[in-house]
Amino acid sequence: MTGYKLGINGLGDVIGDIKGGTNILLIGPPMCGKNIILNNIMFQGLSDGEFAVFITTAESGENIINWFTENKKGVEDHMDQFGVIDCVSKTLGLNVGDTQTIKRVSSPVNLTGISVGITSFFEDFWMKKEIHKARMCIDSLSTMLMYSNIQTVFRFLHVHSRRIKTADAIGIYIVESGMHDEQTIVTVKQLFDGVLEIKNEEDNLFIRALGLSPKPTKWFGYEIDGAEVIVEV
Amino acid sequence: MIKTGIPKLDDYLNGGLPTGKSLLYYCQPGVEGDVFGMQTTYINLQQGYKSVCIATASSPDVIRGKFTEFGWPLEKFENQFEIIDAYSALIGADSSEKYVVEDPENIKNLDKVITEVIEDSSGKVIIHGSISNIIDMCGEDQALEYIENWNKYIMLYDVVGIYNFTVWPYSDKTVERIKDELFNAVIRIGGVSEHVIFGQYYSVTKADWTKAMIDSSILFKVLRPGGVKAFIPKLLVTGPFNAGKSSFVQSLSTRSVSVDRMGTTVALDIGHIDHKGFSADIFGTPGQERFDPILKLLGGEAMGVFLVIDSVKGNEFERARQMLEVTRTRGLPCVIVANKQDLPDALSIEEIKRQMEISKNIPIVPAVAKEKKGVFEAFEILIDQIMVGI
């Protein structure tokens, strides 16, 4: 099976295709465009004919879909490859049901429910639609860690990072740096094969990749322009 | 004795779960296990039991909404159904429930409420909750110590405990204790997987009051509404030309389609049935010999066969027997559907049995498929045969 394109211009060319079964931590400080980076990575998958499962603990399912329809031309053609697990709407007390694209989970605490949602989308796309390349993301682990302790989240990730490997898919997981103690970050990092690390120095943003190419890349400056990520390679 | 309300499970448990006992649904992550405890709860609310549900990962409103989603409205059981709210405090929300745990991460708080509920009960109460959530909040050793104590209370006060446990990678010691020691019955709920989980099953791994049918697995699907339904992926309907196979598929099915030309099946009939807790996909073959080359494909992966015959046409019984060979289904659980029993020249079941020259273990069910007579009896007999063989 061929690898996965990252979907971030410039950086993707430097690291090349990502091999199936890779779990990637996307870590950086707040307000540096991690969501937009993540959304671009997910959109690349949809464009390449993969299926994409988006687990959101920060925005409602509808907001996630709206971002893609407003910012990514042609995404409408790929909606039957897209699944969103919405852990937000029910927490807000909204009386909303599932749709073909969105499955609701009662809260970010309900890791069992999230797990069932992932299984259901993977079964649907893999078995019924016969799409055998996938990317899954969680935005964000930081919210999960606010509601559940590190051991609980670790156990959940342990199971699902392995399932990503079994399915030869890729997984991307956002963590806010500075929100958790060093021990928590070290514990979580054990489960990932690669890291996309972001830093902000005097209002200049930088990104680098570790574990996704033979050597860590150098720090590249980048900008967020609307819905696009422009990396200065 | 209470019923679990899960298809076939009460048979496997020799009638159900005695009061004073605890039952654990032991669920692989990603498999839909929560619904099992809900289904057991709802079946017993209908029988007049009270139920107390421990909310640890969802708000009480969401839990009530989930019952409704499965077609189990709780409004008429308002006086029988309570929630121990061990969730609202976690997210800083107020609670309007009768039982509220102020600090769910402190197991002593949870214990105080649970023991109070059991002590206040006058029997006929089912306690239902997720122990993995309690372990996650309170720690493995402490949670297990208290759960063991709650089970003693359950025995002492003759109530019933129904627990869910998602088998996250806890320590081996914890998992072993949960699986082997703490509960009177353990029902494993697992996934069939290759790359991804694409099927789900349940089986009894322990029941200390009876010689239960251990390790017989039942595939299932979860329907909304409907809950847990035992699922048979494929039942084949075959038989000679014009024996009434399409009528049989249509009469049996909750929904069906037929690929036919001028009233004769030229590809296959497809139907789906939901009946008495069982869910099955049904595939009907054409009967003409010119289609024989494709029949072996249709027979693949079938779990049981209905052999439909025209009760008037004894001269076609040879062809009927041959079709079990052609579809490569000989040896699978089989029921002969003796159709068109309403016609004046229809042979008796004894005569059909004599002329068919088949094993006496294969049941023959009289039927008039167009009038739905005998079709559900045939289905129930075939399901029983399949379940015995699993």
CATH of the domain at B131: 3.40.50.300
Q: Which of B225, B252, B273 is the last residue of a domain?
A: B225
Tens digit of each residue's pLDDT (9 = 90 or more) over B19-34: 999 999 999 999 999 9
Q: Which residues, 6+ apart, have CB-to-CB distance to A123 below 8 Å?
A: B196, B197, B198
Residue A126 falls inside a structural domain: yes
Q: What is the pLDDT of residue B300?
A: 76
Whether residue B64 contacts residue B74, with contact meaning beta carbons closer than 8 Å, is answered with: yes
B141 in A contact zone (CB under 8 Å): no
Predicted complex ipTM: 0.92
Phi first, then psi, for residue B182 (nearest 5°) are: -80, -20
User: Among A225-229, B162-166, B265-269, which stretch is predicted with the lowest mean pLDDT?
Assistant: B265-269
Q: What is the pLDDT of residue B361?
A: 84
Q: What is the pLDDT of residue B121?
A: 82
**How far, in Å, CA of B188 to CA of B207, rounded?**
12
Q: What is the pLDDT of residue B388?
A: 67
| pLDDT (average), residues A15-38 | 96
Residues B256 and B173 in one domain: no
Q: Which of B168, B190, B225 is the last residue of a domain?
A: B225
Tokens 């020799």 found at: B14
Neighbours of B325 (CB within 10 A): 13
A·B CB contacts under 8 A: 97
Please report residues of B whose CB lies closer than 8 A to that of A152. 136, 168
Please report residues of A whose CB lies closer than 8 A to that of B32. 116
Residue A37 falls inside a structural domain: yes
Residue B166 has pLDDT above 90, yes or no: yes
When the pLDDT of each residue in chain B is averaged and rounded to a whole number, the result is 91
Angle between helices B172-180 and B140-156 (to 10 degrees): 10
Q: Do A168 and B136 touch (CB under 8 A)?
A: no
| pLDDT (average), residues B76-99 | 94
Tens digit of each residue's pLDDT (9 = 90 or more) over A156-174: 999 999 999 999 999 999 9
Range of the domain at A83: 25-191
B4 in A contact zone (CB under 8 Å): no
> CA–CA distance from B243 to each of B319, B332, B363 (Å)?
11, 21, 18
Residues B124 and B27 in one domain: yes
B62 in A contact zone (CB under 8 Å): yes
Residue A225 falls inside a structural domain: no
Residues B35 and B86 in one domain: yes
User: Among A198-207, A218-227, B187-196, which stretch is predicted with the lowest mean pLDDT?
Assistant: B187-196
| C-alpha torsion sign, points A195, A196, A202, A203 | negative
Strand partners, B264: B261
Residue B252 falls inside a structural domain: yes
User: Among B18-22, B175-179, B303-307, B385-389, which stretch is predicted with the lowest mean pLDDT?
Assistant: B385-389
Residue B306 falls inside a structural domain: yes
Residue A32 has pLDDT above 90, yes or no: yes
Q: Do B31 and A156 touch (CB under 8 A)?
A: no
Q: What is the DSSP letter of A148?
A: S
Tens digit of each residue's pLDDT (9 = 90 or more) over B281-328: 999 988 888 888 877 777 777 889 999 999 999 999 999 988 888 887
Q: Which of B141, B155, B127, B148 is nearest to B56 (CA)?
A: B127
Q: Do B57 and A107 touch (CB under 8 A)?
A: yes
Residues B215 and B246 in one domain: no
Residue B1 falls inside a structural domain: no
CATH code of the domain covering residue A92: 3.40.50.300
Distance from CA of B299 to the nearest CA of A (A): 20
Tens digit of each residue's pLDDT (9 = 90 or more) over A181-208: 999 999 999 999 999 999 999 999 999 9
Residue B263 has pLDDT above 70, yes or no: no
B34 in A contact zone (CB under 8 Å): yes
Domain count, chain B: 2
Please report residues of B whose CB lies closer than 8 A to that of A107. 57-59, 62, 87, 91
Residue A36 falls inside a structural domain: yes
Residue B132 has pLDDT above 70, yes or no: yes
Whether residue A101 contacts residue A108, with contact meaning beta carbons closer than 8 Å, is answered with: no
Range of the domain at B343: 232-389
**How far, in Å, CA of A18 to CA of B165, rounded?**
36
Shortest CA distance from A168: residue in chain B: B195
Neighbours of A148 (CB within 10 A): 22
